[in-house]
Structure 1
Amino acid sequence: MDALVKTPAVIAVDLDGTLTPTDTLHEAALCLLRDSPLNLLALPFWLMRGKAALKAQVAARAALDVTVLPYNLPLIAWLKDQRAAGAKIVLSTASDRRVAQAIADHLGVFDDVIASDGTTNNAGPNKRAALDARYGEGGYDYAGNSTSDMPVWAGARQAIVVNASAALARRAAGVTTVAKVFPGHAITPRQWRKLFRVHQWLKNLLQFVPLLAAHEAGNLHALATLLLAFVAFSLCASAVYMTNDLLDLESDRRHPSKRHRPFASAAVPIKLGVTLAPVCAVASLGLGLLVGRTFTVWLVFYFLLTCAYSLRLKRLALIDCLTLAALYTLRIIAGAAAVAITLSFWLLAFSVFIFLSLAFVKRYAELQLLAGAGNDHAHGRGYLVADAPVVQALGIAAGYAAVLVLALYLHGETVVTLYAQPELIWFAVPLMLFWVSWVWMKAHRGEMHDDPIVFALKDRASLVIAQLVALCFLLANQGLGG
Structure 2
Amino acid sequence: MGDKIDTKPLVLDIDGTFLRTDILFECFWAALGKDPIRALKVSFLNLKQPARLKAELAEIANLRTDLLPVEPEVAQLAEQAKSEGREVILASASHQPLVEQLARDHDLSPRVFASDGQTNLKGDRKAAALVETFGAQGFDYAGNAPVDRAIWSKSDHAIVVGDTASARQIEARGQSLTRIKGGWGMGDVLRSFRPHQWVKNVLLLLPMIAGHAFDMPTLVAALLGIVAFSAAASSIYLVNDLLDLEADRLHVKKKNRPFASGAVPIQTGMLCFVLLSSIALGVAAALSWTFLGVVAFYMAMSLAYSLKLKRMRWIDIAVLASLYTLRVVAGATATGIYISGYLLVFIFPVFLALGCVKRLTELTLATTDERLPGRGYGRPDRPDLLNVAALGVIAALVAFFLYSFTEQAIGLYKTRWLIWVAEIPLAWWLIRMVSLGWHGKQDYDPIVFAMKDKRGIGLILMTLAIMFYAAGLWQTWFGAL
Aligned residues of 1:5 and 1:179 also touching (Cα < 8 A): no
CA distance in 2, matches of 1:176, 1:67: 37
Give the SS at the match of 2:410.
Answer: helix
Equivalent position of 2:93 in the other structure: 94
Give the SS at the match of 2:81.
Answer: helix
Render the CA deviation track for 1:39-66: whole Å, top value 9, x for unaligned.
Answer: 3234343233x32232223223332221
CA distance in 1, matches of 2:316, 2:332: 25
CA distance in 2, matches of 1:150, 1:106: 28
Q: Closer, same or farther in 2 for the Cα pair 1:396/1:6, shift >3 Å?
A: farther
Aligned residues of 1:89 and 1:111 also touching (Cα < 8 A): no
CA distance in 2, matches of 1:445, 1:178: 58
Following superposition, the deviation at residue 231 of structure 1 comes to: 1.4
Aligned residues of 1:158 and 1:176 also touching (Cα < 8 A): no
Residue number among 440, 444, 447 corresponding to 2:438 in the alignment:
444
Aligned residues of 2:318 and 2:352 also touching (Cα < 8 A): yes
1:215-294 maps to which residues of 2 (within 5 A)? 215-217=212-214, 219-294=215-290
Following superposition, the deviation at residue 176 of structure 1 comes to: 5.9
CA distance in 1, matches of 2:172, 2:471: 76
CA distance in 2, matches of 1:172, 1:443: 57
Equivalent position of 2:19 in the other structure: 20
Matched, 1:124 2:132: no
Give the SS at the match of 2:142.
Answer: strand
Equivalent position of 1:382 in the other structure: 376
Equivalent position of 1:368 in the other structure: 364
Residue number among 335, 346, 356 corresponding to 1:350 in the alignment:
346
CA distance in 2, matches of 1:128, 1:175: 18
Between 18-27 and 289-298, report the one with greater CA deviation.
289-298
TM value normalised by structure 1: 0.92
Aligned residues of 1:253 and 1:264 also touching (Cα < 8 A): yes
Q: Closer, same or farther in 2 for the Cα pair 1:46/1:294, shift >3 Å?
A: closer
CA distance in 2, matches of 1:377, 1:175: 57
Following superposition, the deviation at residue 166 of structure 1 comes to: 3.6
Residue number among 389, 392, 398 corresponding to 2:392 in the alignment:
398
Equivalent position of 2:180 in the other structure: 182
Q: Closer, same or farther in 2 for the Cα pair 1:457/1:260, shift >3 Å?
A: same
Aligned residues of 1:358 and 1:452 also touching (Cα < 8 A): yes
CA distance in 2, matches of 1:61, 1:450: 31
Q: What is the identity, as a one-letter code, of the residue corresponding to 1:478?
A: G
Render the CA deviation track for 1:105-124: whole Å, top value 9, x for unaligned.
Answer: 22222342111112222111
Following superposition, the deviation at residue 459 of structure 1 comes to: 0.9
Any unmatched runs of 5+ in structure 2?
none
Render the CA deviation track for 1:139-177: whole Å, top value 9, x for unaligned.
Answer: 111111111111111111111222x14433222333564
Give the SS at the match of 2:404.
Answer: helix
Aligned residues of 2:362 and 2:440 also touching (Cα < 8 A): no
Q: What is the identity, as a one-letter code, of the residue corresponding to 2:399?
A: V
Matched, 1:34 2:28: no
Residue number among 454, 461, 464 corresponding to 1:470 in the alignment:
464
Equivalent position of 1:434 in the other structure: 428
Any unmatched runs of 5+ in structure 1?
none
* Matched residues, number: 475
Equivalent position of 1:43 in the other structure: 43
Q: Closer, same or farther in 2 for the Cα pair 1:337/1:12, shift >3 Å?
A: same
Between 200-209 and 55-64, report the one with greater CA deviation.
55-64
Give the SS at the match of 1:112.
Answer: coil
CA distance in 1, matches of 2:421, 2:190: 38
Aligned residues of 1:169 and 1:178 also touching (Cα < 8 A): no
CA distance in 2, matches of 1:95, 1:232: 38
Q: Closer, same or farther in 2 for the Cα pair 1:257/1:473, shift >3 Å?
A: same
Equivalent position of 1:325 in the other structure: 321
Give the SS at the match of 1:267.
Answer: coil
Q: What is the identity, as a one-letter code, of the residue corresponding to 1:43?
A: S
Q: Closer, same or farther in 2 for the Cα pair 1:47/1:176, shift >3 Å?
A: farther
Q: Closer, same or farther in 2 for the Cα pair 1:472/1:5, shift >3 Å?
A: farther
1:67-106 maps to which residues of 2 (within 5 A)? 67-106=66-105
Following superposition, the deviation at residue 411 of structure 1 comes to: 5.2
CA distance in 1, matches of 2:256, 2:347: 32
Q: Closer, same or farther in 2 for the Cα pair 1:206/1:86, shift >3 Å?
A: same
CA distance in 2, matches of 1:238, 1:16: 26
CA distance in 1, matches of 2:320, 2:44: 35
- CA RMSD, Structure 1 to Structure 2 (Å): 2.2
**Aligned residues: percent identity?**
35
CA distance in 2, matches of 1:84, 1:57: 37
Q: Closer, same or farther in 2 for the Cα pair 1:152/1:388, shift >3 Å?
A: same
Q: What is the identity, as a one-letter code, of the residue corresponding to 2:98?
A: V
Following superposition, the deviation at residue 4 of structure 1 comes to: 8.3
Q: Closer, same or farther in 2 for the Cα pair 1:385/1:67, shift >3 Å?
A: farther
Render the CA deviation track for 1:244-267: whole Å, top value 9, x for unaligned.
Answer: 111121111111111111111121
CA distance in 1, matches of 2:117, 2:463: 65
